[in-house]
Structure 1
Amino acid sequence: MDRRDFLKALGITATVTGAGAFLAACNANEQSGGGGAVAVSSGGTLYILSDTTSQHLDPAKSQNLAITTISLIHRRLTAWKTAADGPATVVPDLATDTGRASADGKTWTYTLKDGLKMADGTPITSAEIKYGIERSFDSAFSGGLGYHKNLLAGGPDYKGPFKGGELASIETPDPKTIVFHLARPYGDWPWIASMPAFAPVPKGKGTDATYDTKPVASGPYQVESYQKGVQVKFVRNPNWDAKTDLARTGLPDAVVIQMGQDTGVVAKRLLASQGNDAFAFGSSFVNPAQLAQIRTNPAAKNQLVTSKSGALAYLALNTKRGPLANPKVRQAFQYAVDKTAYQVAAAGSADLAGPIATTLITEGIAGREVYDLYPAPPNGDVAKAKQLLAEAGFPNGIDNLDFPVSTANNDADKAQAIQAALQRAGIRTKLRPLDDEAWTTLVTGNDGNYDLTLGSWQPDFPSANANIEPLFGTSEIGNGGYNESRYSVPEVDALITEAQGTVDPAAAGKLWAKADKRIMQDSPVVPLIYTRNSFLHGAKVGNFAIGAFPAYPNYLQMGLAK
């Protein structure tokens, strides 16, 4: 997931775009546990303060992460369990286990738990899950995470249940069994089964746009009201059974999302914690300017929670363009970049921005190996960069590299810091400011008419698969893909295919780590930092914690003090 889509990840439809859309945060875990110190109990109303004006509740349209908003009302076959001291893990949700794979990794079978019901009383059977997935293929309900659409056999040509009948690669031999036939082996299918489209939908429901504001729920809550641009209110689903749910505590009686809130005002309200604001949290990151002030307020310490790290911020080098087609030139960039200057430009200081990055797989992902192929001081090694340029045939440096940058947020400041650092080594760039839509069209389009650009990425699910393929697979060049370096190496594509087809997570992890190092040998990107995210909550919100991955609070675990 490109970091500009973080609002979608939180279940919010407005998109903050640009490579720097995420705001940085303060020292990781300096507020140990944050709201976890508050003793919580069942009851009360939890308030979510959002600066956006709309919300997708239809699972087919959602790009929401499995620990945020939409999961309060929708369950799936699997779910995520997060922890501060280790990688996120996949756990059963509606299913009795995380899936049983065939020997070739192409067929996955799930058995549903007993006695499951939706909010309207509909029994949750394999038919409701099959229909919900099929419905996500219809163009009228598009926009959600769509990994399954290319993985399921026949998926690319399927038009959904209203135009194409049933999808043969999803079988329901009985009400408690669902079987998926994939086009190729895929070891991460249990993570795919945790995505929004795998939520059950009663057959015949969800045939028009109104389902996006009042879907039939399977989680602890159901939609009571949806006031566009103003507020969404969730109340208890009487058919939810906590004993069957490993991912959700369902502690509050109700959850209210207040939309259209000013982020600066939200921070002040939460710190004051007057009235209902004591039972609220902000869904947006605390911006660096406010964060600097908050850190000096001892009373705010237990209301600010910060991720250890987050998305990978990087400099993408177009491997198809001029001098950048030479690997040795690209390796020179690893030494020319001043990562400390980037940290300061991103958030004012190194500790606010996040730790320096050297790998492609982000922290909190199983199988990640720490290494540094290009060891250099944090502010770079200009002499080494010049040496590599000379060896590549550019003793006088390189001129006029096209450097498009989004005008959103402070991307221009970060790009200027990169530009100044590169110039020390004789790499001269021309910044090209673009509005965010134009920038996105350029870097994800088919032409690739640029030399370098800033990017950032946080995976859609807790697997190195979601780090590596979207940014470095040949299939992700152009056509809306985020392989911004236009990197295409058959050996790496083969490694990706092998790792994806490996069912054993430990074995797959070793392959992903191998791919990480193999890609970095070619230097298609310069890893810059792992960005940190900070969130504020009211004084009476507890169980407010950010795991090792993803860099968001787990909405499903929160509770309130009386």
Structure 2
Amino acid sequence: MNAQRSRSPRSLRQTALKTAAAAAVVAIALTGCNANGDKNADSSTGTQGSTTDTVAGGTLTILTSATEVNWDPAESQNLAITTLGLVERRLTTWGVEPGKPGVVVPDLATDTGTVSEDGTTWTYTLKDGLFFEDGTPITSADIKYGIERSFAPELSGGLSYHKSLLEGGDTYTGPFAGAELPSIETPDDKTIVFHLTSAYGDWPWIVSQPAFAPVPEAKDDVATYSQQPVASGPYRVAETKSGVSITLERNDKWDKATDDVRTAGPDQIVFSLGQDATVTAQRLIADSGADKNAFGATFVPPAQLAQVANNASAKERLVTSDAGALAYLAINTERDGLDNVKVRQAIQYATDKQAFQVASGGETGGALATTLITPGIQGRVDFNLYEAPAGGDVDKAKALLAESGWDPASRELILVSEDDSVSLSKAQAIEQGLERAGFKVTIKPEAQLAATQTLTQGDGDYDLNVSAWQPDFPSANGNIQPLFDSSQIGNGGWNIARFSDPAVDALIAQATAEIDPVKAGAIWAQADEAIMAASPVVPLVFTRNSFLHGSNVENFYIPSFPAYPNYLKASLAK
């Protein structure tokens, strides 16, 4: 995924992920079994895939370049509709379909939460008929313990939004020494209450994240849980061959009557690990033997996309997302010259988005962007404050530079880029566009971890960077707050434009505290436009992800958000 994805809204830890054109999907995908008849009959169709009735049975093979899966929810950044969602349920999850904004829906809980009048206390009640794979009832204490263990230093790397939102979370270090987190109450086996430090309208999305999966304390072995979790979903981990494969089989203690989001089609699911992305695509294009019951969990490489375009059978089996992660040019607003809004607006017009799109794989690789909020997320308003041809408007850029009074030839702008070939080609597309307008640009290649350090931990010794961002949950909060709240500058935060505006900070605080999602969406849209008026970044493209599947795989679709297949619904043809 070509995105540095968001983490905790107030904690400042960020993780840079690989470039989309070459990256493997870290969260391994899973599709299920199939349906009879014409796969497009009475279904939603198109490049995002199709849906039809689910038929149970068969073995699905997932071809992935990942060499392992960490099943420990405390250490996971897994999307709700991908791998861990097959084995471990959460309080809520995501209701996602093609062409519709994602909505939060109940999973283990009976609803998406009851909130107090001041927005700081959220209460959930568990459904009846919930059991772990060994037949033990799932209780509120199991969920509380699962959340508490995510605070332990021994278990790191997972999504951490909740750690700064829960009262006392800033100092809590987990349950292994016997300490509990008082802000999580379990008055009985079916009720769990959360006390937050302040009103937070997106809490129902937070409890859909991995750490909110139940973990039975009596069966928690920190050393082995990442390979052998206790299942609450429709599948259990049956066998792991290190670096080779993972096999899931049905969890017969899972009750479909309690679960509206998982169809549990296949009888068995086998993850085939360590698969080369190009070889995987070639196998799925050929569509022979067992590969008919397989799909690739890795983006289809650009060269194979070209092959698919000339192969009618493969083209029918290519599923391409709508707009996904936002690729953008960050402008360091603290630097000489770039602290002038007219100079930053000149960069808006000088940028050759078309050249960047070509470097990203053309229209298949991304749709041109003019806003910050990802399509498919509630509250997004489509607007363009800088109307220009896709290749830019050099004359307008030069006019704004003249108005600014700053001489672009007075110094070189340092464009930090990761040092892989794809990232460098994208940086060069930006460089040539800006230089047409008179800017002087020097590309500074750095290894991925070094670039992340420069951008998020250093003192801001850079001018420009091409980055990308995929929210961790379907709320505009994930688009705006981590990238533009002034609290996210430095110290690991991803406000790499180093943008600070009290009015925008106020809008972010207002939207974050708003409980009504429609009202919150309107405030986030207002923040989007206010930020774009100040021009700390240039939106480039909303990236598209393409996946291939075998001819027996059905119900394989990509929702409006996120830009990954919904593994909880997919199935195999009978």
Question: TM-score, normalized by length of structure 2?
Answer: 0.92
Matched, 1:445 2:457: yes
Aligned pairs for 1:412-431 (under 5 A) are 412-431=424-443
Aligned pairs for 1:221-260 (under 5 A) are 221-260=235-274
**Counterpart amino acid of residue 293 in structure 1:** Q
Match in the other structure for 2:288: 274
Superposed CA offset, 1:38-90 (max 9, x none): 76410111111111211110011100000000100000000111111210111
Q: Which whole-Å CA distance do the structure 2 matches of 1:283 and 1:15 have between them? A: 20
Q: Is the 8 A contact 2:287 2:551 kept in 1?
A: yes
Match in the other structure for 1:479: 491
Q: Which whole-Å CA distance do the structure 2 matches of 1:31 and 1:419 have between them? A: 39
Deviation at 1:492, TM superposition (A): 1.1
Equivalent residue in structure 2 for 1:293, among 292, 302, 307: 307
Matched, 1:88 2:89: no
Deviation at 1:301, TM superposition (A): 2.1
Partner of 1:319, secondary structure, is: coil
**Counterpart amino acid of residue 357 in structure 1:** A
Partner of 1:330, secondary structure, is: helix
Aligned pairs for 1:299-314 (under 5 A) are 299-314=313-328
Match in the other structure for 1:511: 523
Matched, 1:17 2:18: yes
Matched, 1:550 2:562: yes
Deviation at 1:268, TM superposition (A): 1.5
Deviation at 1:23, TM superposition (A): 9.1
Superposed CA offset, 1:298-341 (max 9, x none): 11122100111111000000011111111111111000001111
Q: Which whole-Å CA distance do the structure 2 matches of 1:433 and 1:482 have between them? A: 19
**Counterpart amino acid of residue 170 in structure 1:** I
Which deviates further from its counterpart, 263-272 or 538-547?
Answer: 263-272
Matched, 1:521 2:533: yes
Q: Is the 8 A contact 2:49 2:558 kept in 1?
A: no
Q: Which whole-Å CA distance do the structure 1 matches of 2:432 and 2:264 have between them? A: 51
Structure 1 residues 5, 491: CA separation in 2 closer, same or farther (over 3 Å shift)?
closer
Q: Is the 8 A contact 1:45 1:256 kept in 2?
A: yes
Deviation at 1:394, TM superposition (A): 2.3
Q: Which whole-Å CA distance do the structure 2 matches of 1:377 and 1:212 have between them? A: 50
Deviation at 1:102, TM superposition (A): 0.6
Equivalent residue in structure 2 for 1:353, among 318, 340, 365: 365
Matched, 1:324 2:338: yes
Q: Is the 8 A contact 1:405 1:439 kept in 2?
A: yes
Q: Is the 8 A contact 1:18 1:436 kept in 2?
A: no
Matched, 1:467 2:467: no
Matched, 1:158 2:158: no
Match in the other structure for 2:187: 173
Q: Is the 8 A contact 2:346 2:400 kept in 1?
A: yes
Q: Is the 8 A contact 2:415 2:465 kept in 1?
A: yes
Match in the other structure for 1:340: 354
Deviation at 1:36, TM superposition (A): 2.8
Match in the other structure for 2:57: 43
Equivalent residue in structure 1 for 2:129, among 115, 125, 131: 115
Q: Which whole-Å CA distance do the structure 1 matches of 2:75 and 2:407 have between them? A: 52
Partner of 1:71, secondary structure, is: helix
Deviation at 1:441, TM superposition (A): 1.3
**Counterpart amino acid of residue 3 in structure 1:** A
Match in the other structure for 1:402: 414
Structure 1 residues 33, 416: CA separation in 2 closer, same or farther (over 3 Å shift)?
closer
Q: Is the 8 A contact 1:31 1:305 kept in 2?
A: no
Deviation at 1:266, TM superposition (A): 0.6
RMSD: 2.0
Match in the other structure for 1:262: 276
Q: Which whole-Å CA distance do the structure 1 matches of 2:59 and 2:495 have between them? A: 43
Deviation at 1:440, TM superposition (A): 1.3
**Counterpart amino acid of residue 415 in structure 1:** A
Deviation at 1:203, TM superposition (A): 1.7
Deviation at 1:21, TM superposition (A): 5.7
Match in the other structure for 1:533: 545
Which deviates further from its counterpart, 393-402 or 66-75?
Answer: 393-402
Q: Is the 8 A contact 1:473 1:483 kept in 2?
A: yes
Match in the other structure for 1:214: 228
Q: Which whole-Å CA distance do the structure 2 matches of 1:38 and 1:95 have between them? A: 27
Partner of 2:397, secondary structure, is: helix
Structure 1 residues 426, 483: CA separation in 2 closer, same or farther (over 3 Å shift)?
same
Partner of 1:191, secondary structure, is: helix
Which deviates further from its counterpart, 33-42 or 156-165?
Answer: 33-42
Q: Which whole-Å CA distance do the structure 2 matches of 1:291 and 1:316 have between them? A: 29
Partner of 1:361, secondary structure, is: coil
**Counterpart amino acid of residue 257 in structure 1:** F
Give the % identical residues. Answer: 56
Deviation at 1:353, TM superposition (A): 2.5
Q: Which whole-Å CA distance do the structure 1 matches of 2:158 and 2:24 have between them? A: 24
Match in the other structure for 2:12: none
Structure 1 residues 514, 21: CA separation in 2 closer, same or farther (over 3 Å shift)?
farther
Partner of 1:323, secondary structure, is: coil
**Counterpart amino acid of residue 515 in structure 1:** A
Partner of 1:494, secondary structure, is: helix
Q: Which whole-Å CA distance do the structure 2 matches of 1:433 and 1:522 have between them? A: 28
Q: Is the 8 A contact 1:309 1:530 kept in 2?
A: yes
- Unaligned ranges ≥5, structure 2: 7-14, 26-42
Partner of 1:539, secondary structure, is: coil
Q: Is the 8 A contact 2:21 2:301 kept in 1?
A: no
Structure 1 residues 31, 244: CA separation in 2 closer, same or farther (over 3 Å shift)?
closer
Structure 1 residues 30, 529: CA separation in 2 closer, same or farther (over 3 Å shift)?
farther
Aligned length: 549
- Unaligned ranges ≥5, structure 1: 7-13
Q: Which whole-Å CA distance do the structure 1 matches of 2:185 and 2:51 have between them? A: 46
Deviation at 1:408, TM superposition (A): 2.6
Matched, 1:125 2:126: no
Match in the other structure for 1:502: 514
Q: Is the 8 A contact 1:5 1:15 kept in 2?
A: yes
**Counterpart amino acid of residue 77 in structure 1:** L
Match in the other structure for 1:9: none
Match in the other structure for 1:456: 468
Structure 1 residues 332, 15: CA separation in 2 closer, same or farther (over 3 Å shift)?
closer
Deviation at 1:274, TM superposition (A): 2.2
Q: Which whole-Å CA distance do the structure 2 matches of 1:475 and 1:15 have between them? A: 19
Partner of 2:526, secondary structure, is: helix
